[in-house]
Homo-oligomer: A and B are copies of this chain.
């Protein structure tokens, strides 16, 4: 037993990997995004690596230029229900939006998988960014909810969901065969919620799980996103390009959590990274080049044209540089753009690199190289106040996860930075996050 602070690790599982052209790699299984056996193997690999979390993203709309891995994909809550049976320890986090479902339904789905996994579930709360309105049009709405409004709804949504999760006190079910008393009606509670967005009476028809509630995860990077997540999130997921940005975000965000009256140590900040691991620097660079080479001119330009609506890409190839089209000077509202804007301005990357950046599979040079270099970067960020842990967004799968588990995890373990065995059973135990008390219990205490 050691009280030493350790790195938290989450694996972002998505078909052939984060990189949009990863399906074209010789070893890639291009039908994997809808292959349940493949996902079970991924989750088992992450569990072999003693990861805290297997993470499943989501979206509620697609179009012709969507990442191939998301066109034909599992719904994440049903997916983690299936992965629960193929694993025994790893936490399973599913993404679900608060903008297009009733809180009663989502509260149930999530608590159900938390029981199915015996307390290993987590919910990555999103509000769904939908500038094109593609998602809204799948749900009978003409236009998407305005940004801050979405977070107001999310805040009330969370209030309802967490209330419903407490419908039954932990000792409500007496189940006394002799007397015929199945439950104590004093310990069954209705939230009687009625506010701006929702009216929900309760109770929920499922009780609390072995970890009380699923763990709440959030990736809010906008202002309203941060002020929302600081109120509720137990794990924060962010993507920063370099140590300085990561450290600044870490410090600022922990401050916001403290300002919200919560203990900053109870909130884990995971930094997303897309490492490219080779036995040497040169081999890793070669891997990266190979991946980039699979982005076709047509796909790349078509994505960028769709993304930067006001820019005319006619006559340019993916080898053109960002400044030729003024991409670093744009004033776009998209948060993934703002996140990368400084990098685009500072590094003046090729359009091919801009495309990789925006599609989330391009980290800085610190993340390309042999396993020791990756471990060094992780240690520097972790020990230097820039991260409590990391979200592995492997550019290609399954190799990117397997290489990390086989080559980087042992180094972290040797340095005492990461567990060698699971010590707990639930996701909250892995993360060292307490079971939330039942809001109704104190009344009778």
Interfacial residues, chain A to chain B (CB-CB below 8 A): 21, 23-24, 26, 28, 30-31, 34, 36, 40, 59-62, 64, 68, 70-75, 77-79, 81-82, 84-86, 100-102, 104-105, 108-109, 111-113, 115-116, 118, 134, 137-140, 168, 173, 175, 177, 180, 182-183, 185, 188, 198-203, 205-207, 294, 296, 298-299
Q: Which residues of B contact A140 (CB under 8 A)?
A: 102, 198-200
Q: Is the CB of A138 within 8 A of B201?
A: yes
Please determine whether B104 and A205 come into contact, CB atoms closer than 8 angstroms: no
Q: Chain B residues with Cβ under 8 A from A296's Cβ?
A: 180
Docked Cα-Cα span, A101 to B108, in Å, equals 13
Interface pairs (13), CB distance under 8 Å: A23-B175, A23-B182, A31-B175, A62-B205, A70-B205, A73-B205, A74-B116, A75-B206, A100-B105, A101-B101, A104-B138, A137-B199, A180-B298
Q: Which B residues are CB-close (under 8 A) to A100?
A: 102, 104-105
Partner of A78, one of B104, B116, B200: B116
Give min CB distance, A105 to chain B, whole Å: 6
Q: Which residue of B lies closest to A72 (CB)?
A: B207
Contact of A34 among B59, B185, B207, B299 (CB under 8 A): B207
Residues of B within 8 A of A138 (CB): 104, 200-202
- Provide the bound-state CA to CA distance between A108 and B74, in Å: 8
Q: Complex formed: what's the CA distance from A317 to B81 in Å?
A: 45
Question: Shortest 3 CB-CB distances between A and B: which pairs?
Answer: A81-B81, A75-B112, A85-B85
Q: Quick one: closest B residue to A28, CB to CB? A: B177
Asked whether A182 and B78 contact (CB < 8 A) given A71-B205, A201-B137, the answer is no
Q: How far is the CA of A298 from the CA of B139 in the complex (A)?
A: 46
Q: Is the CB of A34 within 8 A of B206?
A: yes
Q: Is the CB–CB distance between A23 and B85 below 8 Å?
A: no
A36-B115, A115-B36, A205-B61 known; A78-B78 Cβ under 8 A: yes
Are A82 and B84 in contact, with the CB atoms below 8 A? yes
By beta carbon, the residue of chain B nearest A295 is B180
Smallest distance from the beta carbon of A210 to chain B beta carbons, Å?
A: 11
User: Is the beta-carbon distance between A104 and B139 smaller than 8 angstroms?
Assistant: yes
Residues of B within 8 A of A182 (CB): 23, 30, 68, 71
Contacting pair B74 A115 (CB below 8 A)? yes
Given contacts A71-B205, A74-B112, A100-B105, 17 further A-B contacts (CB under 8 A): A24-B180, A31-B175, A36-B115, A62-B205, A64-B185, A71-B182, A72-B168, A72-B173, A78-B78, A82-B84, A82-B85, A82-B116, A85-B85, A105-B105, A137-B199, A138-B200, A138-B201
Q: Known: A115-B34, A116-B74. Is A23-B177 also a contact (CB below 8 A)?
A: yes
| Complex Cα spacing A177 to B294, Å | 9
B206, A108: Cβ atoms under 8 Å? no
Question: How far, in Å, is A188 (CB) from chain B's closest CB?
Answer: 7
In the assembled complex, the Cα of A188 lies from the Cα of B183 at a distance in Å of 51
User: Distance in Å from the Cβ of A204 to the closest Cβ of chain B?
Assistant: 8
Contact partners of A79 in chain B: CB under 8 A: 81, 112, 116
Which residue from B24, B60, B112, B188 sits with its C-beta under 8 Å from A104?
B60
CA distance A78 to B110 in the complex (A): 9
Of A108, A109, A188, most B-chain CB atoms within 10 Å? A108
Which among B21, B183, B203, B206 is the interface contact of A74 at CB below 8 angstroms? B206
Contact B139 A102 (CB under 8 A): yes
What is the chain B residue whose CB lies nearest that of A102?
B139
Q: How far is the CB of A421 from chain B (nearest CB, A)?
A: 23
Residues of chain B within 8 A (CB-CB) of A40 are: 85
Given A84-B82, A205-B59, A71–B137 Cβ distance below 8 Å? no
Cα–Cα, bound, A294→B182 (Å): 12
Given A139-B102, A140-B200, A200-B138, do A78 and B113 touch, yes or no (CB 8 Å)? yes
Across the two chains, which residue of chain B brings its CB closest to A139? B102
Give the complex CA separation of A287 and B5 in angstroms.
Answer: 59
- Which B residues are CB-close (under 8 A) to A294? 180
Task: Give Cα distance in the complex from A70 to B77, angstroms.
Answer: 21
